[in-house]
Structure 1
Amino acid sequence: MSKEKQSPIEGIKIKSHGLRGTLKESIELDNHTGNVRSDDEALVKFHGMYVQDDRDRREERANKKLDRLYSFMIRLRIPGGIIDADKWLKIHEVSEEYGTGVLKITTRQTIQLHGVLKHELRPTLKAFDQAKLDSIAACGDVNRNVIVSSHPLVSPIHAEIHAYADKLSKHLLPKTKAYYEIFVDGDKIYERETEKDDLYEDRYLPRKFKIAVAIPPTNDVDVFANDLGLIAIVENEELKGFNIAVGGGLSSTFGNPNTYSRLATEIGFVDSEEKVLKVAYEVLTIQRDFGNRGDRKLARLKYTVDKLSVDGFKEELEKRIGFKLEQPKPYTFTERSDIFEWQEVSKDVWYYTLFVENGVVKPNQKEFLYELAKLKLSNFIFTANQNLLLGEIATDDKVKVEELMEKFSIHKDLSELRKNSMACVALPTCPLALAEAQRYLPELVTKIEPLLLKHQLIEEDIVIRMTGCPNGCGRSYVAEIGFVGTSSGHYNLMLGGDRYGTRLNKIYKEKVNEIEILNELDKIFEVYTKERNLNETFGDFTNRKLFSYN
């Protein structure tokens, strides 16, 4: 068990009385500020919220001696990302009444609202609760939203595998009822004895925990970027079980060589639902007991795996689960992008993927989706690539959907690069951001597209991603072209990642500005067109050409 000196947040969790802290007092009594009390800033995350402020207005407000313009981001817990039309309508209505009105699809198959003021938290969460939606454990040092390959076309038994997202989420939820007591039921008090939590105890985890379920040949969830990855093994349209991968995580810290990105390591195979749930549970208990509670920058599972060694971690896991893992089974990943355009998954059942650039639902898209939801023609599935899959549309209803698309100018003519772009929120709300991401990447892609045309690469399926800091929320470290913000207008240019998310990229140029980025890519695209091998992807080429000395 970890012996390090504990970080202050560890004490906050233990003393929080089941994640309650003084949140009720912060919300009900502290009318002089839009923030919550200092300790409560850590606790509110466990309930699916982050305290943010508008960084664009910090200087202006400081000059006027005003408090920062605080607000909250609320992230919903939607395992596997599927909701029905009624839930979409509720999300739309809540977003119109509270926050900025903008809906943001995240890389973890859910949706979040920004700009919710403190006095709006309860009515917002109560409204979601009426639609059987919640934000429990969407943030914080617990297992977060479980993601899974989104498109049913990837497997005839997609529904059977997809169901594991909800099973895992329920299995690993914290037992405390503080969320309902503070944000939904108001004065209702629960007996703490009923909240005994054998998994999280009163310490919870040392850091956040992420699970992804991949269905080969698709790796749209970037399964190896997660603390725990489950890779479905399917033979003759029958689920045989899952390969288990542990220790993935992309975040690092500039100037701290002890931090690093790491892809998960496959350690075995299990062949039943009972075993999968047991493995997931005990992986969390190992992280609970051995994870670093002294330095949060070194607290993710990847550091625990490396501290124990892969073999040592596997040995501890097998001791806790009470059985031996089998050897991993073979499989192949051949795609990672979302499947766009209309696809008939079964007779008279159609799906359509709506491109949502960097997950920001534009006003015309929001109107389109609202009108579509009112017709009750489809369900709504968030993808791990920040897009929205419209599902289970009958053949006879396709025309109605197409007419709505035309009415609201839903554009379909997009470059492959843009379809494969992804960015984190970054400025102005993320307190960690060093540079722009979602507000800038669309503009940068527009400037890269002419270079692709120039070199006859516009149809190339290149994966491009950007994050505003080294934490990697936009999964830029597993992109063929990755940008990591270092300061305003400057990024590390990362190249050499493979197309399917099984290899990390590397720094090619540090702290480059837009002109330097475009010049470098222009030169590399030219060499790629002349020197690539047959069917060699851009990521494989740059890895071979630029980093072969490694």
Structure 2
Amino acid sequence: MSEKLPEAEVIKRESNYLRGTILEGLADRTTGALPEDDTKLTKFHGSYQQDNREVRDERRRQKLEPLYQFMVRLRLPGGVLTTDQWLGLDRIADECADSTLRLTTRQTFQFHGVFKEQMQPFMQKIHALGLDSRGACGDVNRNVISNVNPHQSQLHGEIHQLSLDISERLRWRSAAYAEIWLGEECVEKLGEEEEPFYGHKYLPRKFKIALAVPPENDCDVFANDIGLIAIVEDGQVAGFNIVVGGGMGLTYGDPATYPRLATMAGYVPKAQVVDACEAICAIQRDFGDRTNRAHARFKYTIDDYGMEWFRERFAEYHGQAFERPRSFSLSHNGDRFGWVEGEDGNQHLTLLIPTGRVADTDNGLLRTALRKIAEVHAGTFRITCNQNLVIANVAPENKAAVDAVVEEYKLDAGNRSSPLRQNSMACVALPTCALAMAEAERFLPEFVTRIEQAMAGEGLEPEAINLRVTGCPNGCARPYLGEIGLTGKAPGKYNLYLGADFSGQRMNRLYRENIDTDTILEELKPLFRAYRQEREAGEAFGDFMVRTGIVESERTPAMLHQPLK
């Protein structure tokens, strides 16, 4: 293996703890872009430089540079925010961005269309709300996600607090964030290490942590570098089974890259779980591959060294070995819509937010409606890992006021859409994502309609099937856990994956490669027909595909690259 370090690794090591020349680039008004090296560093600050790909040719003809802009993602552990924070972010969307908010699959917000001159005002405004974007992207621990379970208010409180604690423990510490975005003076503190955990190298690649409370798996816990599965005893979280080495994403044409579900490592008591996460992250920091970015995720470290080696390193770094894992059961990875009463008597309303986009459009005034709810709601908002929204902790006397807004604006609490649509999600993709090869967010609504029509044509109701669409193979919408998964291959062309289960514990496999929408539907129609005729009671679509031998039950890396047909 070559010892030459990739450019991204060199840039962060030489960046003076993520400062680079970002400040100088922000001050340069001759261009809407930052220097290329600095765009690698702004990811650590929660931002990607992008441009509107749909106007590239026209701007080129006019001899203009691309229409550069930035996507900014917030750090919001557990996806919980106050109504004041929601209203503040709603204002910022108009003042600094494209007048929309995007709920992500990692339980936070993305803002799009932030121009360079608005970047510092944007960061200062979110700081005033008690929020930040530190570590929402980059080679560090990303936003910690957790189960949103309105049935069990006390458990959710425990889990949310742990997501905050883990996020804070693994947050990068450099003063670069405050200096660049908040205008604080650079003051060197002699004898103090700016990054006591990460050091100047940070991690080899991004790192993701999720917490699940069985039987719910709305966070797709096995898709993360660390998955924490709560073990509940007598109504309290006693500890966690820890699974490691999960991760979505592959590179087309490179069979050495593959998505992977996390492997069971063992159990730790609740009091040790934050320390355990730090120990595991440190193992990846010290042993992850820094010479090959495509091989730098923790999933490859686990496969290269093996689980026995990992458990030995964990005992060494943590000071205690794993205990034997406890039994648990996960039933599904979707959201439960409508009103639910929590243990404390407060009400929680889960709303469908199609593709996570909060905007006022010709199809409805969703952003206005949620603003009005925030104005009358005294509780919190919770973003789900499926891009939906929970209006949480609604006092019984305030339920009617929320219901009135829901009815006035025809919001979807699971009563205005099919189960298929409720279990569908997509990444942003075009026109701003530089990696997108095909549409996703703008493609999904009509594609769901066409699948509903195809199912009806085969005598099926448009029932709950996990449908995931991404514009590239990197897996932001976790397509490899979709019972039907699509990843963009070219404009209008997708790879079709089939055979995942409905609880996030079995991946799908590549079924057809590089096909258009009409071909996808023609492939699905006979499968829907067979499903209607031959399924067992309560059998999910992906399980039917495996039981009947249409796709295999085992999963190997090669199956994600080699089409079945």
Could you say which TM-score interval applies, normalised by the shorter chain? over 0.9
* Aligned mate of 2:210, from 202, 209, 212: 212
**1:23 alignment partner AA:** I
Alignment-mate amino acid for residue 320 of structure 1: Y
In the other structure, the counterpart of 1:333 is: 330
* 1:308 Cα offset (Å): 0.8
Tell me, in whole angstroms, the C-alpha distance in 2 between the residues paired with 1:124 and 1:201: 28
Tell me how far apart the structure 2 counterparts of residues 264 and 474 of structure 1 sit (CA, whole Å): 17
Deviations 1:71-116 (A, max 9, x none): 0011110000000011001100000111111110000100010010
Residue number in structure 2 paired with 1:378: 379
Q: CA offset at residue 188 of structure 1?
A: 4.8
**C-alpha deviations, 1:227-254, integer Å up to 9, x for none?**
1110000122121100011100111000
How much has 1:3 moved relative to structure 2?
7.4
The residue aligned with 2:236 is 238
- For structure 2, list consecutive stretches of 5 or more residues without a partner in the other structure: 555-565
Indicate how the Cα distance of structure 1 residues 190 and 446 shifts in structure 2: closer, same or farther if over 3 A, else same: farther
Alignment of structure 1 residues 183-262 onto 2, 5 Å = 183-191=181-189, 193-262=191-260
Tell me, yes or no, if the aligned pair for 1:35 and 1:70 is still in contact at 8 Å: yes
Secondary structure at the aligned position of 2:475 is classed as: coil
Alignment check: 8 A CA contact 1:468 1:485 kept: yes
Corresponding residue number in structure 1 for 2:275 = 278
Instruction: Please name the residue that 2:155 is paired with.
Output: 157
Residues 73 and 111 in structure 2, CA contact (< 8 A), matched pair in contact too: yes
* Alpha-carbon offset, residue 154 of structure 1: 4.9
1:429 aligns with 2:440: no
The separation in 1 between residues aligned to 2:539 and 2:376, in whole angstroms, is 45
Q: Percent identity?
A: 44
How far off is 1:378 after superposition?
3.0
Instruction: State the TM-score, normalized to the length of structure 2.
Output: 0.94
Aligned to 2:563: none
Q: How many residues align?
A: 547
Distance 2:48 2:553 in 1: 43
The answer on 1:369 being equivalent to 2:367 is no
Contact 1:421–1:464 (CA<8 Å) still a contact in 2?
yes
> Structure 1 residue 536: deviation in Å?
1.8
Measured in 1, the distance between the counterparts of 2:407 and 2:236 equals 40
Distance change >3 Å, CA 419–CA 55, structure 1 → 2: same
Is 1:499 equivalent to 2:502 in the alignment? Answer: yes
Q: 2:558 — aligned with what? A: none
Corresponding residue number in structure 1 for 2:73: 75
Equivalent-residue separation in structure 1 for 2:500 and 2:114 (angstroms): 37
State the partner residue of 1:407.
408
CA distance in 1, matches of 2:431, 2:544: 35
| Kept after mapping to 2: 8 A contact 1:154/1:215 | no
Question: Could you tell me which residue of structure 1 aligns to residue 466 of structure 2?
Answer: 463
Aligned counterpart, 1:305:
302
Question: Does 1:317 find its partner at 2:314?
Answer: yes
Shift of 1:456: 4.1
For 1:49, the equivalent position in structure 2 comes to: 47
Is the partner of 2:200 in helix, strand or coil?
coil
Aligned to 2:290: 293
Instruction: Supply the AA of the counterpart residue of 1:380.
Output: F
- Cα distance change on mapping 1:144 and 1:192 into 2, 3 Å: farther
Q: TM-score, normalised by structure 1?
A: 0.97
Greater shift after overlay, 145-154 or 425-434? Answer: 145-154
> Matched residue of 1:261: which SS?
coil
Partner of residue 40, structure 1: 38
* Correspondence for 1:23: 22
Q: Does the Cα contact within 8 Å between 1:224 and 1:502 map onto a contact in 2?
A: yes
1:87 counterpart = 2:94: no
Q: Any runs of at least 4 consecutive aligned residues in structure 1 with deviations exceeding 6 A, and if so which?
A: none
Name the structure 2 match of 1:111: 109
Task: Measure, in 2, the Cα distance between the counterparts of 1:456 and 1:391.
Answer: 38
Report the CA distance between 1:5 and its aligned residue.
2.2
The alpha-carbon deviation at position 533 of structure 1 amounts to 2.5
Partner of 2:528: 525
2:130 is aligned to: 132
Q: SS where residue 348 of structure 2 aligns?
A: strand
Q: Which moves more between the two structures, 194-203 or 89-98?
A: 194-203
Contact 1:4 1:292 in 2 (8 A): no
Distance 1:154 1:420 in 2: 22
Amino acid at match of 2:12: K
Once the two structures are superposed, the pairs formed by residues 342-353 of structure 1 within 5 Å of their partners are: 342-353=339-350
CA distance in 2, matches of 1:548, 1:8: 40
1:313-358 per-residue CA deviation (whole Å, 9 max, x = no partner) reads 1111111111111111100001211110111113541000111111
C-alpha contact (below 8 Å) 1:417/1:458 kept by paired residues: no
Secondary structure of the corresponding residue to residue 484 of structure 1: strand
Q: How many angstroms apart in 2 are the aligned matches of 1:375 and 1:272?
A: 36
